[in-house]
Amino acid sequence: MTPILPLDSAAVFFDGQYSSPRLHHPECVAIGPDGAIWCGNAEGDIVRIERDGGAATRVASTGGFTLGLAFDGAGQLYACDQRSAAVWRLDPASGALHRFTSPGIRIPNYPVVDAARGCLYVSDSFAGDTAGPGVWRYDLGTGTGELWWSESMRFANGMALAHDGVALFVVETFSHKVSRIAIGADGLPAGRTDCVTGIDGLPDAIALDDAGTLYVSLYRPSRILRVCAYGKPEIYAEDPTDRVLCHPTNIAFDGRDFYTANLGRWHITRLTSDSYGTPLARRTLETVR
């Protein structure tokens, strides 16, 4: 199957192999309210990259391994950390970082802000290939939380909230699928259905464009899928050489720019998309207003 986007639509946006700080196996990428690109590394650093890709700054560090990132409507950044088994909250303006969640979650992988409900969903990858629950929910004001989706999943990974807020999409990496968890009027889960199944490879993260079309990054092979009508995936972009796209993990839209972290190397990739997606930080801010 020929990819929709040619490989030359993708290029290295920021090469962090020898930068300071180094982007040692970046797992995450997110677009900040001012358009800066944020990512992390295997040392727990939280890094801001200028919009033109000209410089990077280590803003804070958990000392662990930075996984998913998400901004709330106030511009605060939430970072999942594997080593401490916690979500940390960063004030980008001051650099102040503190532990946001209480103990309980095992492998906090990816955070999603639900501004309308004032909460943060966090996927729990649990224990590698061992199935377990699931998705946690935390109050954005207090950080108190509980297990929200308690049914077992096989490595709950990247997530995305439907634009209308009625469902949460969750990647299950070792089930090779994307699940859709309906959200009831009371904010509680209202059942799970299969959204995409039989993915050929290891899906990691997802993103939605403004039309609500789903994009799925694959850690292996180095590929991004777009899910068309009836849940059928098509290859959106692929790098068989593992150079420009190298085990892509988290993905993020910024208009027609599409960014990916590359866990297999030291850089952030930018693709020129044929679609358009409002950055989540801006969308969240609009929801709060």
Q: What is the pLDDT of residues 144-167, one digit of tens each?
A: 999 999 999 999 999 999 999 999
Average pLDDT over residues 78-85: 97
Cβ count within 10 A of residue 8? 8
Q: What is the pLDDT of residues 86-145, one digit of tens each?
A: 999 999 999 999 999 989 999 999 999 999 999 999 999 998 778 889 999 999 999 999
Average pLDDT over residues 171-193: 97
Taken in order 197, 154, 85, 223, the sign of the CA dihedral is negative
What is the residue whose two structure tokens read 């930068």?
Answer: 19
- Residue 286: the pLDDT is 72
Closest CA to 82 of 15, 157, 145, 16: 157
The fraction of the chain above a pLDDT of 90, given in percent, is 92
CB-CB contact of 244 with 261 (8 Å): no
**Domain 7-288 of CATH type 3.40.50.720:** no
- Residue 128: the pLDDT is 74
Q: How far apart are CA 266 and CA 195, in angstroms?
A: 32
CB-CB contact of 215 with 207 (8 Å): yes
CB-CB contact of 205 with 216 (8 Å): yes
Closest CA to 10 of 280, 213, 209, 246: 246
